[in-house]
């Protein structure tokens, strides 16, 4: 696809998202905050999965890390500034992802998946069992924080989330998306793709496979932690379920639903699943079944996800129009 239509698409999307708090009831703005969180986390996750070809089945660990960082920095230490929480989450993610990534990136395929799954569950059992440190299954409270140094005293939590915090997250997502766009289109991004497609050849051509994979892993961890900090702020709680392997599975689900071979695929997937899950939950208590069936259908029939379907449709439209232009 050429840059023109894609940029237009992004612009329309951003304007539409920007209008939500003014046009729709606060419920919807509130509902979209997890979308921003997941969109940021999945953009990073897809650097590893879509561009690096490494499927992590334990990435929810970093969302948990972000949420627990918020609980510790804002709750325990009482530093109620969201920017500092984000900073702590990012540093925490680097500190955790460097050693774990160092151990994991030596493997690819199913072994990478299993190792990350094991680390994820290690983190889960730590959070779950060490009650006196982590609050166990009741988790840790994440208090209300200042954003950009402003208290917004006049607003209650819902108004804060549906107003200033909403725009804050939108801006954060744009920033994270732009940064990742630059990363993907840098020589590093090219190298990463080359070693996804043919690691032997890439290595032969002088690409440092483990270092690059480690860098991708650490970046994706930082994105995950930022997403997790947003989730923590929104829910007001950091609990071990954030780290459970089924949550990691949902991250992969969203990415594949949107389309991992497309830069914006994960964002599409996060938006679709957030809205869909909300709708389904209000209709039936058996929403997991519907989601599972949908995942199965995507995997079997549309492995390139919604973005892939859209891209194909767009191409068909262009092809149909071309003869008319020529005539």
Partner 1 sequence: MSAFANVVFGGIFHAAVLFLVAAGLQLVFGVQKIVNLACGSFYALGAYFGITLVNAALKAGLPPVLLLPILIVAGLLMAVVGPPIERLLRTVYGRDESFQLLLTFALVLMFQDVLRFIWGANPRSLGNEVLTYGKLSSGDFTVPVYNLLVIAAAIAAACLIGLFLRRTSYGRLLRATAENRAMAEALGVNVRAVYAVVFSLGTLLGTLGGALVVPTSAASLDMAIEFVIEAFAVVVIGGLGSMAGALIGALLVGLIRAVSLVVYPEFEILAIYLIVIGTLLIRPSGLFGKAAS
CA distance readout (Å), 310 to 11, 49, 267, 268, 323: 17, 21, 14, 11, 21
Q: Which of 249, 324, 326, 261 is nearest to 292 (CA)?
A: 249
Count of residues interacting with partner 1 (CB under 8 A): 42
The least CB distance from residue 55 to partner 1, in Å, is: 4
* Cα–Cα distance, 286 to 80 (Å, whole number): 39
Q: How far apart are the first and last CA of the chain?
A: 23
The least CB distance from residue 189 to partner 1, in Å, is: 20
Instruction: Report yes or no: 134 and 240 within 8 Å, Cβ to Cβ.
Output: yes
Compute the half-sphere exposure of residue 237: CA atoms within 13 Å on the CB side of its CA.
10
The least CB distance from residue 244 to partner 1, in Å, is: 8
Question: Which of 20, 114 has the CB closer to partner 1?
Answer: 114
The answer to the question of residue 293 lying near partner 1 (CB under 8 A) is yes
SS3 of 237, please? strand
The answer to the question of residue 263 lying near partner 1 (CB under 8 A) is no
The answer to the question of residue 122 lying near partner 1 (CB under 8 A) is yes
* Cα–Cα distance, 314 to 312 (Å, whole number): 5
Q: Within positions 123 to 142, which residues make up the interface with partner 1, using CB under 8 A? A: 125-126, 128-131
The answer to the question of residue 256 lying near partner 1 (CB under 8 A) is yes
The dihedral sign for the CA sequence 145, 123, 63, 92: positive
Q: Within positions 23 to 62, which residues make up the interface with partner 1, using CB under 8 A? A: 49, 55, 57
The answer to the question of residue 119 lying near partner 1 (CB under 8 A) is yes
SS3 of 141, please? strand
Among 69, 121, 160, 242, binds partner 1 (CB under 8 A): 121
Residues that bind partner 1 (CB under 8 A): 49, 55, 57, 103, 107, 109-111, 113-115, 117-119, 121-122, 125-126, 128-131, 244-246, 249, 252-253, 256, 285-289, 291-293, 295-296, 299-300, 303
């Amino acid at each position: 696809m050429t840059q023109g239509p894609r940029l237009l698409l992004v612009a329309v999307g951003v304007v539409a998202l920007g209008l939500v708090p003014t046009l729709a009831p606060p419920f919807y703005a509130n509902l979209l905050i997890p979308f921003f969180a997941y969109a940021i986390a999945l953009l990073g996750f897809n650097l590893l999965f879509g561009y690096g070809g490494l499927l992590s089945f334990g990435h929810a660990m970093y969302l948990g890390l972000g949420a627990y960082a918020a609980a510790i920095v804002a709750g325990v230490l009482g530093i109620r500034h969201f920017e500092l929480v984000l900073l702590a989450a990012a540093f925490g993610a680097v500190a955790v992802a460097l050693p774990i990534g160092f151990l994991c990136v030596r493997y690819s395929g199913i072994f990478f998946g299993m190792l990350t799954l094991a680390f994820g569950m290690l983190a889960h059992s730590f959070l779950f069992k060490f009650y006196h440190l982590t609050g166990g299954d009741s988790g840790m409270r994440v208090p209300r924080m200042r954003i950009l140094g402003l208290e917004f005293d006049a607003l209650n939590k819902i108004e804060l989330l549906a107003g200033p915090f909403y725009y804050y997250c939108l801006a954060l997502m744009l920033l994270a998306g732009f940064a990742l766009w630059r990363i993907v289109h840098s020589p590093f991004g090219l190298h990463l793709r080359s070693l996804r497609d043919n690691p032997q050849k890439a290595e032969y051509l002088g690409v440092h496979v483990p270092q690059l994979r480690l860098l991708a892993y650490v970046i994706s961890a930082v994105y995950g932690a930022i997403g997790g900090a947003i989730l923590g702020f929104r829910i007001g709680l950091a609990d071990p379920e954030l780290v459970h392997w089924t949550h990691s599975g949902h991250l992969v689900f969203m990415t594949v639903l949107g389309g991992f071979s497309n830069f914006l695929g994960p964002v599409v997937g996060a938006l679709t699943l957030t809205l869909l899950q909300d709708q389904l939950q209000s209709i039936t208590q058996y929403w997991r079944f519907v989601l599972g069936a949908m995942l199965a259908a995507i995997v079997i029939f549309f492995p390139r996800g919604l973005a892939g379907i859209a891209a194909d449709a767009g191409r068909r439209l262009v092809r149909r129009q071309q003869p008319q232009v020529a005539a």
